[in-house]
Structure 1
């Protein structure tokens, strides 16, 4: 009896890890549908295309799959099961209806919390102490289908989004390894999500890194760590010149106990800026242009 035909949609290192697991097991992956690397994005992670090419799995990078042409091409692949792992586009219901063993997605949060894009960055930004990976059925609405399994991990209050990502990355492989045989047998357990607990967040852009100085020191620090390298970074502007804020210390001796008008420069060396409830010391900064002179008392 032939093995079920798996069509894999994926990107990111989570996609790489999950596809690698299937290929190591000898599962019948008939194709990978993925994305071209964006030349404007810092590619700091492995992607599934490398794993697929090593095993001579066909790789496709359509701009979108919800067209008559691509629906026809996907139907011709005769997938028994669709698995999506960090694929960045919505997959239409006509494609989701094709596989007899269902369409499944690996999402980077503990659903129903943090549906949508960039869940790890959003979780760090909101100061979450725990994040995870969830395997769930794909339905029309993003990340809303019944949960098969999930695995979580603790993250620290100073972890960057990349550090959080590295901690949670193994969870995806753990969950898939636990459930792939049940998925292929059509016996995977499914638990409906509690809609009353659901939260949704959209994609982030570089502009979302702009600091709002009326926020608390903790909120601003969480923004800094959520978008620092390898992400686009937090920033403010001085006389039209962008100042990147790559790291901060919320409880440094230079900032402790200090107050001022939100955005007021309390010290230049070290750079200490007043927030909505105190002050932050910024320990790693970068000017994007000719640096203007900073002065104590100046408002950012």
Structure 2
């Protein structure tokens, strides 16, 4: 029976920390699994809203707190003396840390019988920062998500489960994150019966197969128009919403580009030159051309190409730098 573990297994005491959109979906799923299996979420951490707004894809848990009635703490430091005291009080069986903004200390990892995280790659590949963004920039065709035991290393803990998926040529970072979220929900549902039986898998990572991504920042989204149209298209897909977007400058104003398409137009103009405006806004790149379809100047509303061209009197020959 689906709920057989309710009667013959102890009630798990669960803690959770996160701040990403992936965190919200995982917390929702875990909360529902606790209801189904007779377990309980005792304490949840999210970052303080002012701090959270600085992170891409930040999500709050206020609505989940209302629905599932857990202790909800907004903090920038899980391992403060006050928070550690609260955690120890609950004697947690599992502490999920999913989408938190920094590596946690050994003291936090040891606070529960198991400390478990998620990473949006097929570990040991793509350890470190922004795996989804880097996968799209590198034009990879395979992605995945990993459920694993946390340790003090950077995504080095033993693996519990993984889900693989294809990254399509048209996928943006939002699309890949949605595929990761689907995989996360499926893994949590599949593995929960093993959590109940205290049979949580441990598959050591093969360190010789590991790769590591450096941390990205907003300036990494600056477009180099000397690169090929395919490279620029990939960068735009990798940095679009919920990230800050790829950018360049036009008439000394910061131009943010959210959506583009490969153009088959041919031109001998210098890279960064607008070769067509109006319904289509096409720019010459180092190799080929690219069509900009959704864009805006910083702080101003998003426009399609036709609206942007009309509003700002965009003409062929203008240079985007």
TM-score, structure 2 normalization: 0.81
Q: Is the 8 A contact 2:121 2:131 kept in 1?
A: yes
SS in structure 1 of the partner of residue 49 of structure 2: coil
Q: Is the 8 A contact 1:42 1:230 kept in 2?
A: no
Q: CA deviation at 1:162?
A: 1.3
Q: Does 2:150 match 1:138?
A: yes
Q: CA deviation at 1:199?
A: 2.5
1:19 match = 27
1:211 match = 223
Q: Does 2:159 match 1:126?
A: no
Residues in 2 aligned to 1:173 and 1:260: alpha-carbon distance in whole angstroms: 49
1:200 match = 212
Q: CA deviation at 1:40?
A: 4.2
Q: 1:94 aligns with which of 103, 107, 122?
A: 107
2:292 match = 282
5+ residue gaps in structure 2? 1-8, 301-310
Give the CA RMSD over aligned residues.
Answer: 2.7
Name the stretch that deviates more: 125-134 or 44-53. Answer: 44-53
TM-score, structure 1 normalization: 0.87
Residues in 1 aligned to 2:320 and 2:184: alpha-carbon distance in whole angstroms: 45
1:262 match = 271
Aligned residues: 296
Q: Does 2:91 match 1:78?
A: yes
Residues in 2 aligned to 1:293 and 1:11: alpha-carbon distance in whole angstroms: 40
Q: 2:317 aligns with which of 286, 296, 299?
A: 296
Residues in 2 aligned to 1:121 and 1:153: alpha-carbon distance in whole angstroms: 15
Cα distance change on mapping 1:34 and 1:268 into 2, 3 Å: same
Deviation string for 1:245-275 (max 9, x for gaps)?
222221x34x2x4344332333344432222
5+ residue gaps in structure 1? none
Deviation string for 1:95-154 (max 9, x for gaps)?
112222x21101222212222233222222222222222101101112111111011222
1:153 match = 165
